[in-house]
Amino acid sequence: MKLDEFNTFIQPQRHPKLTDLCTNLTSITQHDVDHAPYYPEAIGAFQKWLGNYDNYLFCSWGEYDKHQFEQDCAFHNVPYPIPAPHLNIKKEFSKIQKVRKRQGMAGALKLAKIPHF
């Protein structure tokens, strides 16, 4: 099994200027996004990268990331870029741990006895 990841910043269109809160929370700077590709170009690069793999699974902690892709694709009028199935790891974690309430990341790490960095 091969693990890999794709990273890129995307130049925001709706709110092009980052707030101090955003920068403090994420460490993403205005320079990072000012020099980043626009969404359609970034999605094209992402799809090209995905083309390197025949068999993969799109995983995220919750449904937010999947929904954000869908929303941004609709806004930018580009097709949804991920043909692979989506796995909600938060849901699976709760099922495996036999907990009724779906855990946030901090709660899940605590439950799994993994230190939070």
Quote the pLDDT of residue 27: 94
Quote the pLDDT of residue 51: 92
Quote the pLDDT of residue 1: 64
Closest CA to 43 of 21, 1, 74, 15: 74
Quote the pLDDT of residue 39: 97
Predicted model pTM = 0.79
Quote the pLDDT of residue 36: 97
State which residues of the chain have pLDDT below 70.
1-2
Q: Name 81's Cβ contacts closer than 8 Å, sequence gap at least 6.
A: 43, 46, 47, 50, 69, 73
